[in-house]
A and B are shown apart, each in its own frame.
Chain A
Amino acid sequence: MNQPASAYFIEERHDPNETHTLSVLVQNEPGVLARVIGLFSGRGYNIESLTVSETESQKHLSRITIVTTGTPMVIEQIKHQLDRMIPVYRVVDMTLTKRSIERELAMVKVRGQGEHRVEALRLADAFRARVIDATTESFVFEITGNTDKINQFIDLMRPLGLVEVSRTGVAAIGRGPEGM
């Protein structure tokens, strides 16, 4: 144990990491995304996925969906730190509600000929991916689903000539009649 001299007690935290999806309702104004991202980088939090778009243009409201990992104490901190920002209306931990639906959209480009091409199309059909562009030697598939499903589809496309992937990141919404 020959750690460098430092002012701080260097502590290993052994709490296991958890993955949480947070929905954050914010005022859509210049710099608001920079504030949110700056909070994560400045305090050393993780961003696994970030999705943001204006959702109510008359009220200038945007909804940010963040997938993050950390110990329960860190997750709690992240929520409080977000909530105290001036343009933030609400922070909801979709993972804790246990009643949320999460979806992601991906566009997957696959290049190949012959048997590979047929196999790609067959798998796409099984995953309910749509063909949104095609040439004689390529397809672009559009697939929607949760993160696991998309990961699985991409893994299957890899040996069949995967060229590139563009993903939207996760969007989440609660089940039932109530809003957040």
Chain B
Amino acid sequence: MSDKSHDPNQMTGAAMIVRALIDHGVTDIFGYPGGAVLPIYDEIFQQSEVQHILVRHEQGAGHAAEGYARSTGKPGVALVTSGPGATNMVTPLTDALMDSIPLVCISGQVPTHLIGNDAFQECDTVGITRPCTKHNWLVRDVNDLAKVLHEAFYVATTGRPGPVLVDVPKDVQFATGTYHPPRKSDVHRSYAPRVKGDATQIRKAVALLANAKRPVIYSGGGVINSGPEATRLLRELVEVTGFPITSTLMGLGAYPASGKSWLGMLGMHGTYEANMTMHDCDVMLCVGARFDDRITGRVDAFSPGSKKIHIDIDPSSINKNIRVDVPIIGDCGNILGDILQVFKAEAKKPDVKAWWQQIAQWRARNSLYFRKSNDVILPQHAIQSLFEATRGKDTYITTEVGQHQMWAAQFFGFEEPHRWMTSGGLGTMGYGLPAAVGVQVAHPDSLVIDIAGDASVQMTMQEMSTAVQYELPIKIFILNNQYMGMVRQWQQLLHGNRLSHSYSEALPDFVKLAEAYGGVGFQVHKPGDLDGAIQEMISVKRPVLFDCRVAALENCFPMIPSGKAHNEMLLPEQANDEATAKAFAGGKALV
């Protein structure tokens, strides 16, 4: 075509961005306009295929995109302006990097001739976000833009998923160039994540599994990231082998909490049976988890007698914290399929009856025990009530970070993957409310609940306004103990109960706050009123702030004091003052 003006692939950079979003199947993006992205917003205005959700702070856009991604398995997309818009994205990008969440962030940048000039709202966005993205790009030529956008989506969603950022100067958004649809050559030749597991390693793994006397399967977020097939295969493997299974915080839901082989979550606030099983096992199969310090406790006392098999798509996760015997690099779904095939063909179901009897004894310790009260709502009780009230409903749970998050992980049973959105690696207070916004956008008819704390929720409270604007009936269920509960717990256990700045002396009236935003507020003090109020909250089809006043000084148990081993857990019934002081005495020096 000689006349370029009639070539449909000739368009401005801004138009290319919207076109690329459409080509990658993006239907919803989260963003906030500003000077350096105005051309893109102008394009968004003139089309209807991509819905834009206007947040109230760029951090909210990032977490909403994360919630969207985690609940759908599709990449989340955020659009922010240069300078402060980009720097406000640093927390969600880091959060997504730690938890392997596919996120595509498009940021505006000052025009190329002003880069390096300390221009208005300029910052070195690619420099700042380099360590908190899987990869990032600054696009200086409009003719590179299509290739970079396609590569960005590819990198974010393949291999170990993660956040990417594309920084687009304003003059590149205005400039006209040639667009092309996604094609293979858009991607760096150097980027080729391994998906297929090594056959020899798989045989070694099966040999270990087949001869195990005291096995355990320890699964993580990688299984969920791999997709529904990995979840199905994990469940089948548990069924075929009869092995016990535990999961990390990120892995909850891959195996159903009601399943008979389920031990509960493991780690610092995991169940006694899960941690003891990990400690005493002879064969450990780690699938898509990374031996994080919150999981292992004391590294040199971590599961000392076991042979360890580690399936991970990221070679750098292997032998990072814990030396393993049989590493298998590749996609969990692929490898679980191969393991199952070899196992079914060549191995008999191992006899693990004696092991299960031992586990039953640990389970009988009832490590999640708490004493209910008629006068005051125990936070654990509140989560249980919420769980009971939502059973059988199409429910998605997000959380903030702290005690409420651990109680939610302990007491809310997840039957399916993608139902549980929490900030695991980074531990971002303020994650849950905007994440709930993102989840509700993706699932408009589902029940979306942010289990929150009174401190965390105030960090991103402004997104209530977004929820009201887009009629997203998210439920913010605040376990209000008027403290930063986990900080207070650590101060009590480790710092002589000197509660330095962990008490919120001036909490807002959450009911009035909800009403001020145009939502609905509830406040409950009495255990007897809880169930009714929860039912009412669920029936309301508007954004809700639910102020659940709970026992102020309740601690989260069981707990592995940091620096201790899995078999040195502190159980709730032991957690009187003396035992607590003793358990943390050594830790005080170390922890």
Contacts and interface: CB of A to CB of B under 8 A. Distances in A.
A34 B127 contact: yes
Contact of A86 (B135, B300, B323, B590): B135
B126 A31 contact: yes
Interface string B118-138: 000000001100110011001
Interface in B509-538: none
Given A5-B588, A11-B299, A86 B494 contact: no
A83 B193 CA distance: 10
Given A5-B495, A77-B316, A86-B188, A10 B131 contact: no
Interface in A112-170: none
Contacts of B191: 86
Given A3-B589, A86-B155, A80 B131 contact: no
B300 A11 contact: yes
Contacts of B298: 9
A99 B126 CA distance: 38
A168 B190 CA distance: 27
B189 A89 contact: yes
Interface string A20-55: 000000110011001100100010000000000000
Given A3-B590, A84-B316, A8 B562 contact: yes
Contacts of A35: 130
Contacts of A83: 315-316
B319 interface: yes
Contacts of B319: 73, 76-77
Interface residues of A, number: 30
Contacts of A80: 314-316, 318
B320 interface: yes
Contacts of B127: 31, 34
Contacts of A42: 131
B175 to A, nearest CB: 19
Given A8-B293, A38-B131, A87-B188, A1 B589 contact: yes
Contact of A27 (B160, B190, B323, B495): B190
Interface string A70-95: 00010011001101111111000000
Chain B CB within 10 Å, residue with most, of A27, A80, A89: A80
B563 interface: yes
A84 B315 contact: yes
A57 interface: no
A32 to B, nearest CB: 10
Interface string B319-340: 1100100000000000000000
B494 A5 contact: yes
Interface of B: 126-127, 130-131, 134-135, 138, 155, 160, 188-191, 293, 297-300, 314-316, 318-320, 323, 494-495, 562-563, 588-591
Given A5-B588, A83-B316, 7 more contacts: A3-B589, A3-B590, A9-B562, A10-B590, A27-B188, A77-B320, A86-B134
29 contacts: A1-B589, A2-B589, A3-B590, A7-B562, A8-B293, A9-B299, A10-B590, A11-B299, A11-B300, A30-B138, A31-B127, A31-B130, A35-B130, A73-B319, A77-B319, A77-B320, A80-B314, A80-B315, A80-B316, A81-B316, A83-B316, A84-B314, A84-B316, A86-B135, A86-B155, A86-B188, A87-B188, A88-B190, A89-B189
